[in-house]
Amino acid sequence: MVRWGSMTFAAAFAAIATVGAHAADLDFPNAPPSLTPEVPVELGTGWYLRGDVGYAREQMPQLSVNATAVPAGAQLLNSLGSKNGWSAGLGFGYKFNNWFRTDFTFERRNTIKSDATSGQFDCQNQLVGLNDAVTNDPVAIGVLYNKCTAAQTASLTRSVSLANFYVDLGNWSGVTPYVGAGVGFVYGATQGTYNWYNAADGSYYNPTLTLPSGYPLTYIHYDSYLNPVTPQPVNFGPQSRLQISNTRTFAFAWALMAGFSYDISSHMKLDINYRYLNMGKWTTPTASSIAKSSDVRIGVRYMID
């Protein structure tokens, strides 16, 4: 009986082992999901992008090459008066809390041009020897004049980069007034040419004034019809009034601003502001002055978070 019981136990154990081996080959259902929720990775709240366009009323230095010491009709310098313009910029920023934020902006401003053509004026064209009508002795040098015009082209381009800091003054039914200030720099490039032209055909004014030999240095000034004209200093040799000016300027810039934003949605804000922009001291061939602008701007801020 003992021997039969042992064999029965061994057979039962083998059967269980066989079933277990087959069970190991079977696919079990998927494990239940984890009870620990996944936390999304955040870059931080408060980041935003911005874009602005604006109307500018600005005062810039004179744009021209040095056209001094020429006939009055040939001076074409523009005045230092204010000019209308525009600006367009992009930037990004960070809102620390409901009161403080900062952003960095880059903007391009419209190209300022100062192209002009003068009226006609007398310009020296030739030196001739004058002789006594009776004795034919040399008595003087005649300075003959033609009519000329002067023309200039001048342009100024500039871009402004600023780091801005703001204080928001509370939200009132979606409207948030604020004040701010900015510091940075402005980069500008000026290009200009100035030249004289013969009024008769528009060609470049470039005669060569050669002093006749054997004549006393007494000058008599005539126009092409032998009428007396206002004397001008005589410069011998090739006559050219071409001047070219290309300058590059980096200047410190700062700004003060005030405005308000309006909540279009939870992520989009309309921004309207006034800004006083000081673009530093600029030196051109004709002037040195502070460049400044009063800007009215409108833009949007998009909150990334």
Most confident of 62-76, 80-94, 121-135: 121-135
178 within 8 A of 166, measured Cβ to Cβ:
yes
Residues 132-140: what's their mean pLDDT?
A: 92
CA distance 34 to 18: 33
Task: Say what percent of the chain tops pLDDT 90.
Answer: 53
CATH number of the domain enclosing 222:
2.40.160.20
Q: Is residue 246 part of a domain?
A: yes
114 within 8 A of 81, measured Cβ to Cβ:
no
Model pLDDT for residues 149-188, shown as the tens digit of each residue: 888 888 888 999 999 999 999 999 999 999 999 999 999 8
94 within 8 A of 102, measured Cβ to Cβ:
yes
- Is 119 a residue whose pLDDT tops 90? no
Bigger pLDDT: 241 or 51? Answer: 51
In this prediction, residue 21 carries a pLDDT of 45
In this prediction, residue 14 carries a pLDDT of 45
Bigger pLDDT: 117 or 38? Answer: 117
Q: Is residue 42 part of a domain?
A: no
Q: Name the band, by pLDDT with cuts 50, 70 and 90, for residue 2.
A: very low
In this prediction, residue 38 carries a pLDDT of 53
Strands 138-168 and 219-223: parallel
- Is 219 a residue whose pLDDT tops 70? yes
Q: Is residue 8 part of a domain?
A: no
CA distance 205 to 149: 9
In this prediction, residue 8 carries a pLDDT of 42
- Is 23 a residue whose pLDDT tops 70? no
Residues 107-132: what's their mean pLDDT?
A: 89
- Is 250 a residue whose pLDDT tops 60? yes
In this prediction, residue 276 carries a pLDDT of 97
Q: Is residue 28 part of a domain?
A: no
| Count of domains observed in the chain | 1
Residues 130-157: what's their mean pLDDT?
A: 90
Instruction: Tell me whether residue 25 is exposed, middle or buried, using C-beta atoms within 10 angstroms of its C-beta: 0 to 12, 13 to 18, 19 or more.
Output: exposed
Instruction: Tell me whether residue 155 is exposed, middle or buried, using C-beta atoms within 10 angstroms of its C-beta: 0 to 12, 13 to 18, 19 or more.
Output: middle
In this prediction, residue 164 carries a pLDDT of 98
Q: Is residue 14 part of a domain?
A: no
Strands 243-263 and 121-131: unpaired
- Is 292 a residue whose pLDDT tops 70? yes
Q: Helix, strand, or coil here: 162?
A: strand
CA 60 vs. chain centroid, Å, equals 13
Q: Is residue 22 part of a domain?
A: no
Least confident span in 33-42, 125-134, 155-164, 245-254: 33-42
CA distance 168 to 5: 91
Q: Is residue 180 part of a domain?
A: yes
**Please, which contacts does 78-85 make with residues 24 or more away whose CB atoms are closer than 8 Å?**
78/114, 78/116, 78/154, 80/287, 80/289, 82/57, 82/58, 83/57, 83/58, 83/59, 83/112, 84/55, 84/56, 84/57, 85/55, 85/56, 85/57, 85/58, 85/109, 85/110, 85/112, 85/293
Tokens representing 52?
A: 């602005």
Bigger pLDDT: 267 or 70? Answer: 267
Model pLDDT for residues 225-235, shown as the tens digit of each residue: 889 998 988 98
Q: Is residue 19 part of a domain?
A: no
154 within 8 A of 116, measured Cβ to Cβ:
no
Q: Residue 65: give the domain boundaries.
A: 47-303
Least confident span in 29-38, 103-112, 220-229, 264-273: 29-38
CA distance 298 to 292: 19
